[in-house]
Amino acid sequence: MVKPMPRLENCTWSCSCAARGRHKNQLEKTAVGLAAKVGEMLSSSVSSSPLTLVGHGTRTPSTSSLRSSSTNSLNLNQHLVQRSLVLFAVGAFMALVLNLLQIQRNVTLFPEEVIATIFSSAWWVPPCCGTAAAVVGLLYPCIDSHLGEPHKFKREWASVMRCIAVFVGINHASAKLDFANNVQLSLTLAALSLGLWWTFDRSRSGLGLGITIAFLATLITQFLVYNGVYQYTSPDFLYIRSWLPCIFFSGGVTVGNIGRQLAMGIPEKPHTD
């Protein structure tokens, strides 16, 4: 019995189908491999990229940090100007009041044309004292931050007001108290000034700045009196009274406490050796 021969078309069709199947499998494997490589590349690039997506846009961390730093610096500058204005006003007002007391007790003598001005004081006294108060009041917290010793002793406005009252009392005593000589008065005021520092400050920076302020202010006053701008009655320390450095010391401590209290809202700068 003779078997029929397979047809040539069937063989050709089967061979072409098998080849197409193998080619298709290779293409699928290649596509899968390429997709895996592209996914790895995308994931690595996204992980190493500094961009972060926020909503529909992109924002870099450097831009946000720059904006926050600029905002902080603007707030600090505004706070600095406000503190300076407050300290200037306090210094000018205290200079008017305390200098008036010295003039009324004939401790300080100005020329006759000056007495007719506001509060019987020279026009330059309030702005000079206001500027000095602003500088001193800003310097105290700055030195505390630089030394890494933030002042925490009696940081409240009630203590600051008591310190101001004691300072006014010391200045009042310098004009009201009568001693046998100026040396006894100077020693008494020196003890009161140190007591003011111990009661309301007790910091090394406050003591050092108070002594420096008293020394510089005394030199400036000696220069002004020497040039005839004004004068003191019964001078016993070159051209001035011997108790005047005590007033400058207690005034520096008082203004420093005001400046520290005004700077309470600013974060302390950490000290690094």
User: Measured at the alpha carbon of residue 248, what is the angle toward residues 247 and 253, in degrees to the nearest 5?
Assistant: 100
CA distances from 64 to 26, 51, 57, 74, 86 (A): 50, 12, 14, 15, 33
pLDDT for the residue numbered 54: 43
pTM higher than 0.95, yes or no? no
Handedness of CA 240, 134, 266, 76 (dihedral sign): negative
> For residue 109, what is the enclosing H or E element?
strand 108-109
Q: Which residues contact 117 (CB under 8 A, 6 or more apart)?
A: 123
pLDDT for the residue numbered 27: 56
158-163, long-range: CB within 8 Å, 24+ apart, which pairs? 159/200, 159/257, 160/200, 160/257, 160/258, 160/261, 162/200, 163/196, 163/199, 163/200, 163/253, 163/254, 163/257
Q: Which two tokens stand for residue 33?
A: 């491999």
Strand intervals (E) in the chain: 52-54, 57-59, 108-109, 231-232
Question: Is 230:108 a contact under the CB 8 Å cutoff?
Answer: yes
Higher pLDDT, 226 or 38: 226
Kindly give the pairing relationship between strand 52-54 and strand 108-109. unpaired
Phi, psi (5° rounding) for residue 177? -70, 140
Distance (Å, rounded) from C-alpha 23 to C-alpha 191? 105
For the stretch 135-162, what's the b/e string if a residue is b when 16 or more beta carbons lie within 10 angstroms of its beta carbon?
Answer: bbbbbbbebbbeeeebbeebeeeeebeb
Burial class (CB in 10 A: 0-12, 13-18, 19+), 259: buried
The per-residue pLDDT for range 246-256, each reduced to its tens digit, is 999 999 999 99
The per-residue pLDDT for range 101-136, each reduced to its tens digit, is 777 666 666 665 555 555 556 788 889 999 999 999
Indicate if the pLDDT at residue 15 is higher than 70.
Answer: no
Indicate if the pLDDT at residue 57 is higher than 50.
Answer: no
- What percentage of the chain reaches a pLDDT higher than 70? 62
Q: Which two tokens stand for residue 239?
A: 């051209």
The per-residue pLDDT for range 160-206, each reduced to its tens digit, is 999 999 999 998 888 777 777 778 888 999 999 999 999 999 888 89
Of the ranges 110-119, 142-151, 173-182, 218-227, which one carries the lowest mean pLDDT score? Answer: 110-119
Distance (Å, rounded) from C-alpha 151 to C-alpha 136? 15
Of the ranges 95-104, 187-196, 235-244, 252-261, which one carries the lowest mean pLDDT score? Answer: 95-104
